[in-house]
Structure 1
């Protein structure tokens, strides 16, 4: 349970950094809404992304893994669509904003995971 909460908090911080620094990504909610958005993002990445990766594994091989960036951007766009459907004010202007946002989220999540997600 502690690991799950840490993962949600890492996602929330990564999303907050992305919202602050990436043009074309907009969010007007509070911290509670950001945590809910992080939960949605985590569920999308835990359930849908593996299925998507399995179906598109040929693209990963052909592009030598560069398709990962596109897959991450698509997962971020899907998170945005789900969030707006349930009333969370999170919008992404276009695919390029999603691509840059996914890159920022990956970097911030990696750094925070190394810092805080240590197995004791």
Structure 2
């Protein structure tokens, strides 16, 4: 259930970013939802490896390189998704920031579900 909620939040964030940033395009709503799923998979499988390999650079920039990693994961998603288009790295960078902010706000509003002990 958590994956479904996060996917919907990411899809909404993609929609908002596509409307705010010229240069980020999704041909259809279906493509946008599939891109949200692919983005989740990319962030789950590839982002940890990239983040680990770039740890010295992230420490050196006091964490700001994380923004570049987010933009790279969005660009990779666009490469894997037919129809999704990002015109430049600057577009990916700004869109990644917008997606992060929208996702953060939505996750705070939805809240984290915790498992209550039985008994």
Pair in the same fold by TM > 0.5: yes
Q: What is the correspondence of 1:52-71 to structure 2 with a 5 Å cutoff?
A: 52-71=50-69
Residue 97 (1) aligns with residue 97 (2): no
Any idea what the Cα deviations from partners look like across 1:70-100, whole Å, max 9, x if unmatched?
A: 000000000000002xxxx110000000000
Write the distance in 1 (CA, Å) between the matches of 2:25 and 2:9. 19
TM-score by length of 1: 0.91
Q: CA deviation at 1:118?
A: 2.6
Residue 29 (1) aligns with residue 23 (2): no
Say how many residue pairs are matched: 114
Write the distance in 2 (CA, Å) between the matches of 1:118 and 1:69. 24
Q: Find the counterpart in structure 2 of residue 17 from structure 1.
A: 16
Write the distance in 2 (CA, Å) between the matches of 1:41 and 1:105. 11
1:6 is paired with a residue whose SS is helix
Gaps of 5+ in 2: 115-119
Any idea what the Cα deviations from partners look like across 1:37-67, whole Å, max 9, x if unmatched?
A: 1000000111100010011111101000000
Gaps of 5+ in 1: none
Q: Find the counterpart in structure 1 of residue 3 from structure 2.
A: 4
